[in-house]
Every structure is written in structure tokens, then in C-alpha cells.
Amino acid sequence: MSDDQGSPRVNSARLKNYLGAGHPVRVTGKVLNFSDDETHLLMEAPDGGKIKVLLPPPPQTHGVTDTFVEIVGTVVDASTIKHMVCINMGSDLDLNLVNQAIELSFDSKFRGRLF
């Protein structure tokens, strides 16, 4: 989960920090709805903000089946990411807890040691 190799887990507020970063980020959240033509979906980030996820056109599949998912993708703008990979996380997830984990991971006290 370190910056230079993997994709850090962020919430909606931190999205803008990674604009043009070159590496993707991951957002864990709850799928709110799909667009009619399935070009994008709307999800709720752990801090409550709404993020638009641009989905790949067919024949690629987005793989979103569960209510809670983690989307790995590149940042398009402060509230949009482009889907690369999706991890399904079931139907019960405490987003508040996830948010706490995200915030803690950015806390300078813990950054190098725990995360």
C-alpha cells in the first residue's frame, strides 16, 4: 500500500491529491447505482462523498457484483476515477471503519510503521 508501488486507499476528499499521479488509487465504497447504459456507476466513498466511476466499454467487464466493492483506478478529476479492476467485498461492510483506517494510514505517526 505504499505510494511508489501499489495503489493507496483513499476516500473522496483525498482523491484530488492524486490527480495526474501516474499510479492508480483504490476506493472502497458502496455501489449506489449504475448509469442506464452502464458507462459509469456512482458509488459512496468511505467519507460519504460521491464518486463517479467510469466503466470500461464492452467487451471488457467491470466485474461489479456485490454492494460493497473496492475499485482500483486512475484519477480523472476530483470526483471521478476510471475503473481498472474491481474487488467485490460482500454485502456488509462498515464504511465508517474503513474511513478510520484510511485516515489513520495518512497520519504521520503511523505512516511509515503501520502502513
Partner 1 sequence: MTSDLSLSLISLSLTEGICQRLNSGDKDDESLWNSKPTLQFLSIKKVVASNNAGAPGNSNSVIDRYRIIISDGLHFLQAMLATQLNFLVEEDRVGKNTVAVIENMSCQHIMDKRLVILLGLKVLQRDVPKIGNPSPLNIPPPQPASAPGPAAPVSSSAAAAPQLESRPAMNRANPIYPIVALTPYQNNWRIKVRVVQKSDIRHYSNQRGEGRLFSVTLMDDSGEIKGTAWNTMVDELFERLQENRVYFVSKARVNLAKKKFSTVSNDYELSLDRGTEIEECHDVDVPVIRYNFVDLQGLQGLEKDAVCDVLVVVKDVGDLAEIMTRNNKMTQKRDLTVVDNTKFSSRLTLWGKQAEQFNSSSDSVIAFKGVRVSEYNGLSLSLLSSGSMAVDPDIPEAHALKGWFIDGGAKTSFQSHTQAGLSSGAGGPINRNEMRTILDVKEAQLGMSDKPDFFSMRATIMHIKTDNIMYPACPTPQCNKKVMETHDGWRCEKCDRSHEKPEYRYIISMAVGDYTSQIWLSGFNDIGNTLFGMTGNELRRLQEENEAKANYIMLNATCQPYNFTCRASQHSFNEQNRVRYGIQKMLPLDYRIEAQALADLLRSPWAQ
Residue 1 within binding range of partner 1, rule CB under 8 A: no
Q: Which is nearer to partner 1, 13 or 101 (CB)?
A: 101
Establish if 13 lies at the interface with partner 1 (CB under 8 A): no
Q: Count the Cβ atoms, other than its own, within 10 Å of residue 35.
A: 13
In terms of C-beta density within 10 A (0-12 exposed, 13-18 middle, 19 or more buried), how is residue 34 classed? middle
Q: Does 89 bind partner 1 (CB under 8 A)?
A: no
Question: Any contact of residue 101 with partner 1 (CB under 8 A)?
Answer: yes
Joined grid coordinates for residue 64: 461489479
> Which range touches partner 1 (CB under 8 A), out of 20-28, 45-53, 60-68, 107-115?
107-115
For the range 102-108, what are the long-range contacts, defined as Cβ-Cβ under 8 Å and sequence gap of 24 or more?
Answer: 102/9, 102/10, 102/11, 102/14, 102/46, 102/47, 103/11, 105/1, 105/8, 105/9, 106/14
Residues within window 31-70 making contact with partner 1, judged by CB under 8 A: none
* Of 17, 32, 100, 111, the one binding partner 1 by CB under 8 A: 100
Site residues (CB under 8 A) for partner 1? 94, 97, 100-101, 104, 107, 109-110
